[in-house]
Amino acid sequence: MTAIQTKPTLLLATLQSTAIENRAAQVVWTIARVAVGLLMIHNGFSKLADVQGFASGVVSFIGLPYPVFLTYCAAYAEIGSSILLALGLCTRFNALILLSTMLIALFFHLKKDGWHISPLETASLYALWFSFFLTNGGGLFSLDTTIAGWLRKSSSP
């Protein structure tokens, strides 16, 4: 047996979630992941509903180049990553993408409105959830955990 076979792969380490072993907590974790993922999808579709308005009103306002292109990137990232997050597939990677969009949203709201709570509230809550999933993964009831189980079985002698 080689050393590579006895150590977990980087992929396996990225996929597995071992933070909480309590089944009830894992059910809540799954419900939260699915709910946050499904609720976030509308943000991507709202960008696609008015690409030019979002590009000029948000992306250009904060000073990023190629506003229309970045609007499409943000919209499709929010739609695709939200679906994958809800499924628990590549959870940490998708949480990182979604966290990035929320950090840009927070920057926009701070630049536009200052410290007014209402515009910051939703983006802040999403950012906290995405930070949780980035740190902890998809949980026990996710495709990541299923894939990690398959990888463990295929690498064991």
Query: What are the pLDDT digits (tens) for 91-105?
Result: 999 999 999 999 999
How much is the pTM? 0.86
Q: How far apart are CA 155 and CA 4, in angstroms?
A: 9
Average pLDDT over residues 8-21: 66
The residue type of 129 is W
- Report yes or no: 102 and 125 within 8 Å, Cβ to Cβ: no
Q: pLDDT, tens digit, for every residue of 72-88?
A: 999 999 999 999 999 99
DSSP element (H, E) containing 21 = none
Q: CA 113 from chain center: how many Å?
A: 25
Hey, what are 37's tokens? Answer: 């993922």
11 pLDDT band (50/70/90 cuts)? low
Are 70 and 105 in contact, with CB atoms under 8 Å apart? no
